[in-house]
């Protein structure tokens, strides 16, 4: 009877641990990992021949290196690691009312945004809603810039081991009380 309780507690703990991990990325049709935050196409609707601003919010996207931006409606653009935006011109032969896929790639991760082509004549780039060259690194959401921190990983592993040990201890102690 005690083995069933211990196995149940262990299974419950492993299940809770598995479901508590955040789903940070998803996969697209091409097998790339897709992130949705931190990448913007301004404006999202533009006439053929117009200029668009491609932006990367480094703190929200987590990308510190250069970002490669591709689409079927403009030439490939690279946003260097020290910059947060680039301007490009939409091709004149873009189809009116069509939605084009814009892919931001950083390492093995990518973000996909849509760009819709409107009728009319192209205009200049839309100014960024915040100063572009350097931004505040606030709102990191608990992420660290250095990647994995061995102290935090060790502390997390110790907490998990302690909770499993406590569950085992209390299940053994309770079974001894039931027999008396």
In the chain, beta strands by DSSP E: 26-27, 33-34, 39-42, 45-47, 51-56, 67-71, 74-79, 85-89, 99-106, 109-118
CA atoms within 13 A on the CB side of 112: 14
What was the pLDDT predicted at 157?
Answer: 92
What was the pLDDT predicted at 23?
Answer: 43
In Å, how far are 46, 126, 137, 155 from 169, measured between CA atoms? 65, 63, 44, 21
Candidate from 30-44, 110-124, 151-165 with smallest mean pLDDT: 30-44
pLDDT tens column, 43-77: 889 888 899 999 888 777 777 888 899 999 999 99
- Confidence (pTM): 0.50
pLDDT tens column, 139-176: 555 555 556 678 888 898 999 999 999 988 888 876 55
What was the pLDDT predicted at 126?
Answer: 55
Rounded Cα–Cα distance for residues 72 and 114 (Å): 11
pLDDT tens column, 67-112: 899 999 999 999 888 888 899 999 988 888 889 999 988 877 888 8
Q: Is residue 119 scored above 90 in pLDDT?
A: no
Residues of the chain with CATH 2.60.40: 32-133
Q: What is the CATH number of domain 32-133?
A: 2.60.40
């Amino acid at each position: 009877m005690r083995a069933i309780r211990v196995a149940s507690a262990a299974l419950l703990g492993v299940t809770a641990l598995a479901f508590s991990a955040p789903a940070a990325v998803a996969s697209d049709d091409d097998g790339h990992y897709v992130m949705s935050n931190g990448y913007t196409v301004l404006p999202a609707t533009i006439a053929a021949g117009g200029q668009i601003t491609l932006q990367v919010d480094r703190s929200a996207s987590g990308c510190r290196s250069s970002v490669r931006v591709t689409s079927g409606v403009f030439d490939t653009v690279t946003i260097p690691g020290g910059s947060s935006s680039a301007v490009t011109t939409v091709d004149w032969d873009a189809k009116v009312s069509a939605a084009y896929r814009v892919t931001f790639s950083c390492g093995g991760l990518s973000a996909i945004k849509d760009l819709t082509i409107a009728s009319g004549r192209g205009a200049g780039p839309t100014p960024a809603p915040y100063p572009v060259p350097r931004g505040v690194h606030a709102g990191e959401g608990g992420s660290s810039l250095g990647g994995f921190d061995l102290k935090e990983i060790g502390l997390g592993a110790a907490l998990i081991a302690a909770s499993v040990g406590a569950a085992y201890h209390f299940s053994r102690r309770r079974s001894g009380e039931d027999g008396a």
